[in-house]
Amino acid sequence: MSSGPTSEITAEHLSRAKTLANDSPQNTAFVREILGAALEKAMSVAPHFQTAEAWATLANALICDHLNRWNLDKPSGLKQAEDAVRQALAIDGDLPLAHFVDGFAKRANGDHQAALLAFDKALQLKPDFARALAQKANELINVGQPQAAPPFVEKAIKLNPQSPSLGMYYWILGKAHFFAANYSESIKWLEKSIAVRGNLWYSRLYLISALAITGQLKQAEEALNDLNTKFGQYTLTRVATDELANPNSNEVIVAGRRSLHEGLRSAGMPS
């Protein structure tokens, strides 16, 4: 069998996958379907047409589903994402996207220092990689340094003020201020995040809790009702289960999540 058609199929599927931001469960499912099928065919027919970028793009979609608790009816498993990252790095160890996604995989395994190093590596290779700057900030929060996070997100926003990831950047700023116990400032950024990206359940959880903690119980109850309408009934048990996708024993995170749960309970979320 000639190798030409396989090359064209793989290139076509990678091109289509790259046009989709991993900003919704529909998009990540589509990327997994089209790119996963193309890579599987390439492996069986012409392995030399696999590319590091294709594997990293597939890994990005897989890990987004895992961390965001998306497409739970189509489980991928963290191992599949890790395997895709390894394939990408084996082909091109200097691909920034591969190290970026490797940071997500290490985060999902609770190895937050290693995740921080992976995001740093992505930035060494591509200093203007805005999403890596934002996720380095997110990882600084995860290692217990929320006060150090905002400048990196602010730099990411400055690099591309119209970025499709803007809602995620605002979420990270809101998260940083929440874990630093700056709840009023957190509310400002979480509200901006929801206005731009309405499909992030976790930004809504932290907004509800921050509103309750600051005594704005009516607004917290309204935000909780909105969450339940859009994402199904939430309980504290569901919140704790979803947090397992990003395991963390750092004392700052443990304390912050305890405050999160207390605020949610005050807003009326059942156990």
Give alpha helix (H) positions in the chain: 4-18, 25-45, 52-68, 78-91, 96-108, 112-125, 130-142, 150-159, 166-179, 183-196, 201-213, 217-231, 236-243, 251-266
Query: With bands split at pLDDT 50, 70 and 90, how would you rate the model's confidence at 268?
Result: very high
Average of per-residue pLDDT across 39-47: 51
Domain that holds residue 104: 1-127
- State the pLDDT at residue 66: 84
Looking at the fold, whether 227 and 177 belong to one and the same domain comes out as yes
What's the half-sphere exposure (Cβ side, CA atoms, 13 Å) at 259? 21
How far is Cα 50 from Cα 43, in angstroms, rounded to an integer? 7
Tell me which residue has tokens 């190798």: 3
How far is Cα 99 from Cα 85, in angstroms, rounded to an integer? 8
- State the pLDDT at residue 20: 55
How far is Cα 58 from Cα 63, in angstroms, rounded to an integer? 9
| Residue 112 in domain | yes
How far is Cα 31 from Cα 253, in angstroms, rounded to an integer? 32
Number of folded domains that form the chain:
2
Looking at the fold, whether 207 and 101 belong to one and the same domain comes out as no
Looking at the fold, whether 111 and 227 belong to one and the same domain comes out as no
Looking at the fold, whether 2 and 78 belong to one and the same domain comes out as yes
Looking at the fold, whether 11 and 121 belong to one and the same domain comes out as yes
- State the pLDDT at residue 119: 98
pLDDT per position as a tens digit, 173-190: 999 999 999 999 999 999
Looking at the fold, whether 185 and 224 belong to one and the same domain comes out as yes
- Give the amino acid at 219: Q
Looking at the fold, whether 14 and 68 belong to one and the same domain comes out as yes
Nearest in space to 131 (alpha carbons), one of 166, 105, 162, 102: 166
- State the pLDDT at residue 8: 45
- State the pLDDT at residue 17: 61
| Residue 64 in domain | yes
How far is Cα 197 from Cα 24, in angstroms, rounded to an integer? 9
Domain finish residue from 75, 92, 127: 127
| Residue 138 in domain | no
111, 143 in Cβ contact below 8 A? Answer: no
Instruction: Assign residue 113 the CATH number of its domain.
Output: 1.25.40.10
Full-model pTM? 0.86
Q: How far is CA 137 from CA 28, 98, 168, 256, in A?
A: 23, 18, 12, 16
Looking at the fold, whether 160 and 266 belong to one and the same domain comes out as yes
pLDDT per position as a tens digit, 87-142: 999 999 999 999 999 999 999 999 999 999 999 999 999 999 999 999 999 999 99
| Residue 132 in domain | no
Looking at the fold, whether 69 and 179 belong to one and the same domain comes out as no
Looking at the fold, whether 175 and 265 belong to one and the same domain comes out as yes
| Residue 142 in domain | no
How far is Cα 154 from Cα 37, in angstroms, rounded to an integer? 38
Does the structure show a pLDDT above 50 at 167? yes
- State the pLDDT at residue 15: 60
| Residue 146 in domain | no
| Residue 260 in domain | yes
139, 111 in Cβ contact below 8 A? Answer: no
Looking at the fold, whether 120 and 175 belong to one and the same domain comes out as no
| Residue 61 in domain | yes
Looking at the fold, whether 113 and 163 belong to one and the same domain comes out as no
Query: With bands split at pLDDT 50, 70 and 90, how would you rate the model's confidence at 192?
Result: very high
On the 0-12 / 13-18 / 19+ scale of CB atoms within 10 A, 207 is: buried
